[in-house]
Chain A
Amino acid sequence: MSLMKRISLIFRSKANKALDRAEDPRETLDYSYQRQLDLLSKVRRGVADVATSRKRVELQVTQLEQSAAKLQGQAEKSLQMGREDLAREALTRKSALATQITDLKTQHAQLQGEEEKLTLAQQRLQAKVESFRTRKETIKATYTAAEAQTRINEAMSGIGEEMGDVGLAIQRAEDKTAQMQARAGAIDELIASGALDDASAINSGDDITRELEAMSSQADVEAELARLKGLSAPEAPEAIEAAPEPGEILADEPEKQETASDAGKDGQA
């Protein structure tokens, strides 16, 4: 049991050293309780920080997936227009995005794991702090200072170990979050610059979209023309049938104008 025992002894001695001791043993209880509450709010902030990072990664995955879908669409359109070279370029860019997306999803899973771990640590600490508070009040109310010392040592040892552990959990979560934020920051910059979001945005990247747009605008014009030609014949009879109505409206117009001018004259007089 040597390795486990060695780690246990070292951990415990450090946890005990980290505890505040006051001259009046009952004050020790209050000091310790205050530090437990501080740690509890620290672990709550830790949970919130990890959740923020997780959401950021989620957002990035969504953005990159949209970019990938866009490139997929460009590849399909390129092929329809017989431009295999453009389709190949779009798919190459899409596969680069796929690597990023896979990495981000791994990070997301890790952050989720940290978040769950910290949430559980928070629940355990919360339960222990509540226990400690009850015991602290009992000790302060019931025991003399001398008697209290023993009871306090009992109460402190367990909570000290838990505090050391929760502190360690927070530190590890912070380390992981910091690593991921550096990476997430780099991806945000790429997305902001348009390099990932839109393959058309950066210098050489212009080609796929520009060529597709040029080709599709030509194709669109032809299609629109064809449609108009096709529709012009059937539309004509409708226009003739409808003709009397505009005529009636026009016939009414002069009367209105006269009334208006009459009213104008009355107004002037």
Chain B
Amino acid sequence: MIIRILTEGQYDVADEALARLNQLDVTLEAAVEAGDEAAFASALAELLGGVRTVGVAHPADSLDESDLILPPADATLEQVRQMLTEGGLIPG
């Protein structure tokens, strides 16, 4: 499975690792719903850290689409909310 961390690039992640990442994703989503900045920041850092740890950089010259796309490491809770409401994520 190819996972992209926005502004960082794509990673190949083995399917076995997905269960753990899913847990982190649920935590992250709960933090976004609750508007809990601190929980959001730590959940995002943990999720991205997990992808970087278990993932292997996908070849730069491939033209493959990602299966999953994650927010950038420095994203704020507000920015992630905007992403979810289709608000100005992609410039141009």
Contacts and interface: CB of A to CB of B under 8 A. Distances in A.
Chain A interface category by residue count: 35 or more
Given A3-B28, A121-B7, A172-B72, A11 B61 contact: no
B86 A12 contact: no
Interface of B: 3-4, 6-9, 18, 21-22, 25-26, 28-29, 32, 60-72, 74, 80, 83-84, 86, 89-92
B90 A168 contact: yes
B69 A8 contact: yes
26 contacts: A4-B3, A7-B70, A7-B71, A8-B66, A8-B68, A12-B69, A14-B86, A121-B9, A123-B60, A124-B9, A127-B60, A128-B62, A131-B61, A158-B63, A159-B63, A161-B65, A161-B66, A164-B89, A165-B4, A165-B6, A167-B92, A168-B90, A168-B91, A172-B7, A172-B72, A172-B74
Contacts of A127: 60-61
Contacts of A187: none
A129 B85 CA distance: 30
B7 A5 contact: no
A8 B26 CA distance: 15
Interface of A: 1-8, 10-12, 14-15, 18, 117, 120-121, 123-124, 127-128, 130-132, 135, 154-155, 157-159, 161, 164-165, 167-172
B66 to A, nearest CB: 6
B72 A167 contact: no
A130 B63 CA distance: 10
Contacts of A135: 63
Contact of B68 (A4, A154, A164): A4
Contacts of B80: 7
A132 B66 contact: no
Contacts of B62: 128, 131, 158
Given A127-B60, A128-B63, A167-B91, A10 B6 contact: no
B7 A15 contact: no
B35 to A, nearest CB: 14
Counting from the closest, the 7 A-B pairs by CB-CB distance are A158-B63, A127-B60, A127-B61, A3-B29, A169-B7, A8-B69, A131-B61
A1 B92 contact: no
Contact of B4 (A6, A14, A161): A161
Nearest to A176: B74
Nearest to A123: B60
B29 A132 contact: no
A50 to B, nearest CB: 13
A73 B90 CA distance: 53
B90 A120 contact: no
Contacts of B86: 10, 14
Contacts of B92: 18, 167
B89 to A, nearest CB: 6
A225 to B, nearest CB: 65
Given A4-B25, A7-B84, A117 B8 contact: yes
A49 to B, nearest CB: 15
Contacts of B60: 123-124, 127-128
A251 to B, nearest CB: 87
